């Protein structure tokens, strides 16, 4: 699902660039609004349940036990933090390329590369989420996207490296939301009464909160840059770049929480971590997180 959404984003930037060049901002927005209605409204008639709804079933009460787990809230906080910076590169890359005096089509190309790289990134993260804990998948996404922002976007003004940044950022950052299914699975493993849609809705709601707050926050971070910028940090988007890199990195605070609990000798699946004897010294060593079929650290 996430990969399909990203695939459409590989075409839209070029369409919008052409509309803006020919009809201006107002005309482009009106044309896009009409296109959305025309293209999506007919699809509503084909949205049907996959199987008939049974009339003889027992309504199981919803379980909200996952809301009592600190681990869920740490993952949610990381989700909101990551959302604060996630949309900033696609939002500002076109104007950033314009400030560097690149052709306008190059800005659309960068946004298209970000969206296109989301496709394999989402699939890769989804695959990892089927085999590894959600916090580990999020860690990979956070480190990869953060390093791409800080060490490519921030320190270069060359076309080739900007395209490489767009590809790496799209791949790693785009895979963050694919870890939602892994989070839902971990909540279900702890309590079968947890409803998938409730957990997914809360995660998407948190992401929406981050998206809404990102606009005014990024606008406040814009500053005057140098007249002949050689690096991304030299431009008016320098603070935006640092903010994006920081939010991408701290999106992994769920993994940080899990690691901290392990380092402090937290309980693993209801039992204490094994004690290793070395002479007269006892060392409590937690079991490492490996795969979903191995013992995992509790989320709360």
pTM: 0.75
Residue 158, CA distances (Å) to 152, 154, 164 in order: 10, 11, 10
Task: Give me the pLDDT at residue 286, please.
Answer: 47
Task: Give me the pLDDT at residue 293, please.
Answer: 47
For the chain, 300 residues long, give each residue's pLDDT as a single digit of tens: 656 666 666 677 777 777 777 778 788 888 888 888 888 888 878 777 666 656 655 566 777 888 888 888 999 999 999 999 999 999 999 889 888 888 888 988 999 899 889 888 988 998 998 888 888 999 999 999 999 999 999 887 788 999 999 999 999 998 898 889 889 888 888 877 888 888 889 999 999 999 999 989 998 998 776 677 777 888 889 999 999 999 999 999 888 888 887 777 544 344 344 444 445 555 444 444 444 444 444 444
- Which are the contacts of 272, defined by CB distance < 8 A and separation ≥ 6? 265, 284
DSSP states of 99-115 = HTT--HHHHHHHHHHHH
Task: Give me the pLDDT at residue 49, please.
Answer: 67
Q: Alpha-carbon distance 227 to 35, whole Å?
A: 39
Task: Give me the pLDDT at residue 3, please.
Answer: 61
Task: Give me the pLDDT at residue 300, please.
Answer: 46
Residue whose C-alpha is closest to residue 264's, from 251, 255, 273: 273
Task: Give me the pLDDT at residue 51, please.
Answer: 65
Tens-place pLDDT, residues 107-149? 889 998 998 898 889 889 989 988 888 889 999 999 999 999 9
Helix axes 2-9, 104-131, angle to 10 degrees: 170
Q: Alpha-carbon distance 47 to 4, whole Å?
A: 17
Tens-place pLDDT, residues 252-264? 988 888 888 777 7
Give the Cα-Cα-Cα angle 214, 243, 170 (nearest 5 degrees): 80
Can you give 142-172 as a three-state secondary structure string?
A: HHHHHHHHHHHHCCCCCHHHHHHHHHHHHHH
| Paired residues of 281 in beta bridges | 278
């Amino acid at each position: 699902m996430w990969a399909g959404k990203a695939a459409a984003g590989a075409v839209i930037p070029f369409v919008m660039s052409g509309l803006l060049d020919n009809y201006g901002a107002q005309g482009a927005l009106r044309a896009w609004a009409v296109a959305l209605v025309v293209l999506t409204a007919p699809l509503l008639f084909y949205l049907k349940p996959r199987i008939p709804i049974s009339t003889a079933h027992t309504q199981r009460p919803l379980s909200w036990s996952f809301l009592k787990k600190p681990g869920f809230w740490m993952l949610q906080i990381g989700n909101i933090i990551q959302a604060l910076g996630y949309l900033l590169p696609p939002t500002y890359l076109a104007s950033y390329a314009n400030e560097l005096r690149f052709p306008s089509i190059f800005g659309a190309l960068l946004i298209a590369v970000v969206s296109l790289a989301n496709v394999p990134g989402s699939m890769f993260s989804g695959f990892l989420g089927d085999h590894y804990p959600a916090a580990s998948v999020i860690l990979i996404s956070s480190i990869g996207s953060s390093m791409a922002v800080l060490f490519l976007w921030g320190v270069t003004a060359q076309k080739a490296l900007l395209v490489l940044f767009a590809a790496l950022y799209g791949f790693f950052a785009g895979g963050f939301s694919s870890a939602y299914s892994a989070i839902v699975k971990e909540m279900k493993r702890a309590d079968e009464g947890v409803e998938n849609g409730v957990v997914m809705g809360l995660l998407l709601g948190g992401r929406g909160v981050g998206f809404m707050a990102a606009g005014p926050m990024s606008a406040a971070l814009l500053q005057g840059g140098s007249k002949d910028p050689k690096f991304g940090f030299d431009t008016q988007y320098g603070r935006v770049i640092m903010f994006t890199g920081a939010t991408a990195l701290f999106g992994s605070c769920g993994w940080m929480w899990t690691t901290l609990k392990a380092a402090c000798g937290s309980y693993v699946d209801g039992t204490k971590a094994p004690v290793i004897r070395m002479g007269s010294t006892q060392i409590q060593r937690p079991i490492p997180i490996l795969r979903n079929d191995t013992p995992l650290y509790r989320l709360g």
